[in-house]
Structure 1
Amino acid sequence: MCEISFIKLILISFTFFICGINFLLNDYTIFIEWEVVSINSMSIVMTFLFDWMSLMFMSFVLLISSLVIFYSKEYMSGDMNINRFIMLVLMFVLSMMLLIISPNLISILLGWDGLGLVSYCLVIYFQNVKSYNAGMLTALSNRIGDVALLLAIAWMLNYGSWNYIFYLELMKTDFEMLIIGGLVMLAAMTKSAQIPFSSWLPAAMAAPTPVSALVHSSTLVTAGIYLLIRFNMLIANSVMGQLLLLLSGLTMFMAGIGANFEFDLKKIIALSTLSQLGLMMSILSMGYYKLAFFHLLTHALFKALLFMCAGAIIHNMMNSQDIRLMGGLTLHMPLTSSCLNVANLALCGMPFLAGFYSKDLILEIVSLSYLNFFSFFLYFFSTGLTVCYSLRLVFYSMTGDLNCSSLNMLNDEGWVMLKGMMGLLVMSIIGGSMLNWLIFPTPYMICLPMYLKWLTIFVCVSGGLLGYLISNVSLYFINKSFKNYFISFFLGSMWFMPYISTYGLIFSPLVYGNLVVKSFDQGWSEFFGGQNLYHTLMKNSQLNQMIQNNNLKLYLLIFILWIVILLLMMLLVKI
């Protein structure tokens, strides 16, 4: 099943890519209306929008999902239900496709909820307590966004149909449309895990690694970005845009710092995804939706590759994800290490790799824009932190000696996994320049002072140096004093967000629930209610049973009582 799905998906991916280039060069859009059912005067119509953006995004989603499915053939080979896993992944991709081509809020909700439901099934795939907790956190966080989207659908009743694409430009100053924009922004923030909904993203690492590669590159977390790209007219130059710029900048900063305190390989890569999502959101909130889309595509390539390499390493390390137990992997797994290093360098913005073209362009546009100092600081400092945690990851996993058990047989012989990784390796090297030539046929000419031109390089080099020092000299300020431990714990735990989202929300209801159980279900309410009623009925039924036991003495006694009562009644009547 893996091979069939792989071949079909890769062929459809190339077809969509060619169509996307054609639509882009000719500025061509197809809007399809399909009448599903028509009863009297009522008709149910499905609408699809095919433009260069949707076709190109679909081609990337299909390319990555095809390579992930091919990779899963070996990665999930020990699983008895691998076909079920592949079906879940295909349902996941199908939901994303429906979301991409929908210009209608109702059909977007179908894809949106499909992503939420299938992601829950995939996160709890390994069926243990940690997975169940992570799945519930993921599902409930995303439900907030689903409710916001339902409310936006309700507000769209003010217009003629749910095809928002007809009304965005014409009605963008309308009060109802501003409310719809706010609700869509809330939905996008939950799906793309912006502050304060960030805690579910690292928790979703409980899913199998191929799923993580798909989720963190081109599907679930990018759905919110894509939706906001479609609604970009409502966000640019508005209060919503300013709020989104602040929250996404803080998300980028928080994820960058958190990754520097983390020792779980998959969690570091997850937090780097969160950082890049913050970067996309922030540039989108400034009105540069094409740049956000460009970074979305380039990021998808190297992030999927990063997760695939992480999966191969975890497999060889006997399912250990702690980077402190790794080391010297370049000697034992040279091909996987090369792929990981290329993906890491692309993430850092190494010149002429995929990430450089989008990231450098974003930072130069930021330098050129009319922006306050705080947002400017968040952009550049977070870029430095990206290089910092990437170099720290490489230092711990690639250099030195192996810190794990000497019985571990590390090798690069997973050829199916390696072939899947090689496809993305090529795209991580050439994808950025190819997309840059296609999406921006006229190159951006950004004229900046020398110190601003060099600022990006300077920040990256400084971040890399800091990452090396942190790893090598152990500059962590975790001392025995409470203050320093508290600060490091605060920075390393995503600003306490996972605890606020879980224990913080559930603590009070559980305490009050316990009081209710003690006071009502096991207290006075029970004593005077159910239990008392039960005892009363029992006594009366025992009395009744005794009376109806066919005892002659009782019958004679009741007969005499009746005679006495009749005589008393007769006396009372005479009186």
Structure 2
Amino acid sequence: MMKILKLSFFKKMMLMLLMFFILMMYYSIILFYNKKIIIIEWEILMCQSLQIVMPLIIDWLSCMFLSVVMLISSAVMFFSDFYMKEENFKKRFCLIVILFVISMMFLIISPNMITILLGWDGLGLVSYVLVVYYQNNKSASAGMLTLLTNRVGDIAFLLSIAWMLNHGNWNFLTLNYYYNYSMMYWICLFMLLAAMTKSAQLPFSAWLPAAMSAPTPVSALVHSSTLVTAGIFLMIRLSYYFTNMPMFQMILLFASSLTMLMASMVANNDYDIKKIIALSTLSQLGLMMAIISLNYVNLAFFHLIVHAMFKAMLFICAGIMIYKFMHFQDIRMMGYLTMHMPIISICLNTSNLALCGIPFMAGFYSKDLILEQFLFCKMNFMCMIMLFVATGMTVMYSLRMSYFSFWGTNSIKSINLVPLNFKMNKGALILTFGSIMSGSILSWLTMNPTLNVFMPLKLKMMIIMLIMIGILLGNLLYKLNFLKNKMYIYYKFKFYNSQMWFFPENSSQSFLMNTMMLSKKSFILDNNWVESMSAQGSYKFIMSFSKFNEICQENSMKLFMMVTMIPMTMIMFLMFFT
């Protein structure tokens, strides 16, 4: 008799997502080589003259991105089956994650701003539910910071939809740049604000490391290919309308380069492994925004796909290590894991090499081309310096994390805290091929073979030198943590970076305190001259006038003369004789 396999709900979802991945990848290759774009209008409701239609755009861009989202979601589902095995409501967690993927699908395949808003707000709402999943004070504060920061972008998105009413419809494919420059200016301004908020660019960066309060499988999905990339994908879709607005491009270039520098500096001084990877995501988002500001949209999409592959694997490997150490996330508590977890060590160091842009890994094909384009085109010199320094720091914090986790001395008494299930490794092994080969495959399939950057040998070797300098400084930074002498300047600088340039305080506590102080001052003002000049003052004036009118109506003229005329007569008499 044949043995019937009983699959868990997570594995059923994983198989379904893998089938969608194969289908979407097949269609993306066909549409790319045939150079076709399919627009479908799905009629939802038709009643008399009322017609509700949902448009869908299917091109190689959307199909490719959907296939990557499905692949990463399937790996996350397989990993979640073991990581969340002690969860009482596993099916509810799985359905919330599926709802997150569906919201991302709405955002990817919709050319209409109203249907994009469904996915945009769906991502924000479901991300809040997942961040507060563990239901403690830290998760509640992190979820509130995430929700309120993203509401700024949601308001900007709604304002752009309101401005598009001047155009007559909400389809961004039919917008005419030359129809009304003022209208396009405001639409692009609000879209820029919405994309910067969703992708956590400065000054909206505080929510992304705070969102690490969510379960680790959620972090692997959210911070690689879904929530944080929604703003990047929106900018790629609307990039045509930003080409003739150099002011917006300069704002985006400066904000993204400063974000990349800040994230790299903070990652070099943090010890929480999930926050280090989240800050690495923030740094790479800044790199994508910077290349979009220079109008290299296909290159930004190329790096977006490659980055999603190795960053999801990095989060899954970190989640397995956290699970092994009974949910400790401090890298100082780890060490010497190469002998005990060889497969995870290989996977995490592979994704680290891809992140650093080591030659012929996945990240090399996109990062090397991006940095060469920075050197080749005209751009602000300070922004270029910040971008290259941040790229060198990427190697530093990646090497520092590997030192603490795998090659350093063991910092705990027992390494076998939790027996490791080797089936958990399959979630990371699914994405290992993508972390190694996705860069070369996508470069051969999608990039223009004539896109060559001709530069002098010194500039060509500059990127390799950045990697070598980053390796040396990462080794020095690891040893600097164990120096016995106390360097005051170093520790003050480390404290400043560990607090993320005080952006979390400025985004939460100080904002709350300033709001409370402002409300207190407004309460004092409302109870004093504002009330006297408006409601209360009008009330007193009308009451006094009505009383005077009542005296006149009762014909009490004698009383009126005694009260008013006698004092006036005495005053005039005194003035005349003195």
Q: TM-score, normalised by structure 1?
A: 0.87
Determine the structure 2 residue equivalent to 1:364.
Answer: 372
Counterpart CA distance in 2 for 1:196 and 1:402 is 38
Q: Secondary structure at the match of 2:153?
A: helix
Please list the CA deviations of residues 442-497 of structure 1 after superposition, one character each: whole Å capped at 9, or x if unmatched.
Answer: 2522111011000001011101110110102438899574x654433222222110
Give the 3 Å change call, closer, same or farther, for CA 476–24 of structure 1 in structure 2.
Answer: farther
Of stretches 228-237 and 113-122 in structure 1, the one that deviates more from structure 2 is: 228-237
Counterpart CA distance in 2 for 1:438 and 1:264 is 38
Alignment of 1:548-559 (within 5 A): none
CA positional deviation for 1:371? 1.7
CA positional deviation for 1:244? 0.2
Counterpart of 1:192 (choices 182, 194, 199) is 199
Determine the structure 2 residue equivalent to 1:275.
Answer: 283
Please list the CA deviations of residues 498-520 of structure 1 after superposition, one character each: whole Å capped at 9, or x if unmatched.
Answer: 01001110012334667899999
Give the 3 Å change call, closer, same or farther, for CA 105–343 of structure 1 in structure 2.
Answer: same
8 Å CA contact retained: 1:279, 1:379: yes
Counterpart CA distance in 2 for 1:141 and 1:107 is 22
Of stretches 369-378 and 321-330 in structure 1, the one that deviates more from structure 2 is: 369-378
CA positional deviation for 1:420? 1.1
Counterpart CA distance in 1 for 2:60 and 2:48 is 37
Counterpart of 2:503 (choices 497, 511, 526) is 497
Counterpart CA distance in 2 for 1:43 and 1:256 is 50
Of stretches 500-509 and 257-266 in structure 1, the one that deviates more from structure 2 is: 500-509
Residue 397 (structure 2) pairs with residue 389 (structure 1): yes
Q: Secondary structure at the match of 1:158?
A: coil
Residue 443 (structure 2) pairs with residue 436 (structure 1): yes
CA positional deviation for 1:4? 1.1
Determine the structure 2 residue equivalent to 1:92.
Answer: 100
Counterpart of 1:414 (choices 421, 425, 430) is 421
Identity of aligned residues (%): 49
Counterpart of 1:463 (choices 466, 470, 491) is 470
Counterpart CA distance in 1 for 2:238 and 2:463 is 30
Counterpart of 2:236 (choices 229, 232, 237) is 229
Determine the structure 2 residue equivalent to 1:569.
Answer: none
8 Å CA contact retained: 2:326, 2:418: no
8 Å CA contact retained: 2:177, 2:184: no
Counterpart CA distance in 1 for 2:160 and 2:408 is 54
Q: Secondary structure at the match of 1:38?
A: strand
Determine the structure 1 residue equivalent to 2:42.
Answer: 34
Counterpart of 1:103 (choices 102, 106, 111) is 111
Residue 493 of structure 1 aligns to which amino acid in structure 2? Q
Residue 147 (structure 2) pairs with residue 131 (structure 1): no
Please list the CA deviations of residues 227-270 of structure 1 after superposition, one character each: whole Å capped at 9, or x if unmatched.
Answer: 00011012235210111000000000000000001000000000
Please list the CA deviations of residues 322-349 of structure 1 after superposition, one character each: whole Å capped at 9, or x if unmatched.
Answer: 0111110101111111100000000000
Q: Secondary structure at the match of 1:32?
A: strand
Q: Secondary structure at the match of 1:33?
A: strand
Please list the CA deviations of residues 271-291 of structure 1 after superposition, one character each: whole Å capped at 9, or x if unmatched.
Answer: 000000000000001100000
Number of residue pairs aligned between Structure 1 and Structure 2: 519
Please list the CA deviations of residues 115-152 of structure 1 after superposition, one character each: whole Å capped at 9, or x if unmatched.
Answer: 00000000001110000000000011000000000000
Counterpart of 2:127 (choices 100, 108, 119) is 119
Give the 3 Å change call, closer, same or farther, for CA 191–115 of structure 1 in structure 2.
Answer: same
Counterpart CA distance in 2 for 1:520 and 1:405 is 63
Determine the structure 1 residue equivalent to 2:542.
Answer: none
Alignment of 1:536-575 (within 5 A): none
- Structure 2 residue runs without a partner (length 5+): 1-8, 528-578
Residue 221 (structure 2) pairs with residue 182 (structure 1): no
CA positional deviation for 1:354? 1.0
Give the 3 Å change call, closer, same or farther, for CA 443–407 of structure 1 in structure 2.
Answer: same
Alignment of 1:155-166 (within 5 A): 155-166=163-174
Please list the CA deviations of residues 15-41 of structure 1 after superposition, one character each: whole Å capped at 9, or x if unmatched.
Answer: 000100110111010001112112222
Counterpart CA distance in 2 for 1:190 and 1:378 is 21
Counterpart of 2:152 (choices 125, 139, 144) is 144
Give the 3 Å change call, closer, same or farther, for CA 179–126 of structure 1 in structure 2.
Answer: same
Counterpart of 2:515 (choices 509, 514, 539) is 509
Please list the CA deviations of residues 150-182 of structure 1 after superposition, one character each: whole Å capped at 9, or x if unmatched.
Answer: 0000000111210011115555x7210121011
8 Å CA contact retained: 1:5, 1:69: yes
Q: Secondary structure at the match of 1:110?
A: helix
Counterpart CA distance in 2 for 1:494 and 1:294 is 29
Determine the structure 1 residue equivalent to 2:218.
Answer: 211
CA positional deviation for 1:352? 1.2
Alignment of 1:58-77 (within 5 A): 58-77=66-85
Q: CA RMSD in A?
A: 2.1
Determine the structure 2 residue equivalent to 1:307.
Answer: 315
Give the 3 Å change call, closer, same or farther, for CA 168–453 of structure 1 in structure 2.
Answer: farther
Counterpart CA distance in 1 for 2:421 and 2:19 is 24
Q: Secondary structure at the match of 1:48?
A: strand
Counterpart of 1:51 (choices 56, 59, 67) is 59
Give the 3 Å change call, closer, same or farther, for CA 83–517 of structure 1 in structure 2.
Answer: farther
Q: Secondary structure at the match of 2:228?
A: helix
Counterpart of 2:341 (choices 333, 336, 355) is 333
Counterpart CA distance in 2 for 1:316 and 1:281 is 36
Counterpart CA distance in 2 for 1:270 and 1:114 is 22
8 Å CA contact retained: 2:326, 2:417: no
Q: Secondary structure at the match of 1:436?
A: helix
Of stretches 272-281 and 483-492 in structure 1, the one that deviates more from structure 2 is: 483-492
Determine the structure 1 residue equivalent to 2:10.
Answer: 2
